Amino acid sequence: QLEYLAGAMGSGVVMGARVPIALTSRADSPMTRSASALLGKLIAHHRRSHP
């Protein structure tokens, strides 16, 4: 696992809806939750900028 062996950070976003949905777990760290929210925001911004 990259998170444990290499110190990578994960995030989760559900695609296919009108807006991206941040998918987190109760076990996720606050940093992972923030990364999921930021990734969703970036995807939404990209969709608005490039229809």
pLDDT given at position 40: 94
Please, which pLDDT band fits residue 48 given cuts at 50, 70 and 90? very high
Task: Give yes or no for residue 41 having a pLDDT over 90.
Answer: yes
* Residue among 38, 31, 32, 36 nearest 46 (CA): 38
Task: Give yes or no for residue 11 having a pLDDT over 90.
Answer: no
Q: Residue 9: which domain range? A: 2-49
Mean pLDDT of the region 9-34: 90
Mean pLDDT of the region 9-33: 90
Percent of all residues in the chain with a pLDDT value above 70, rounded to a whole number: 100
The structural domain count of the chain equals 1
Centre a 10 Å sphere on the Cβ of residue 36 and count the other Cβ atoms it contains. Answer: 22
Task: Give yes or no for residue 8 having a pLDDT over 90.
Answer: no
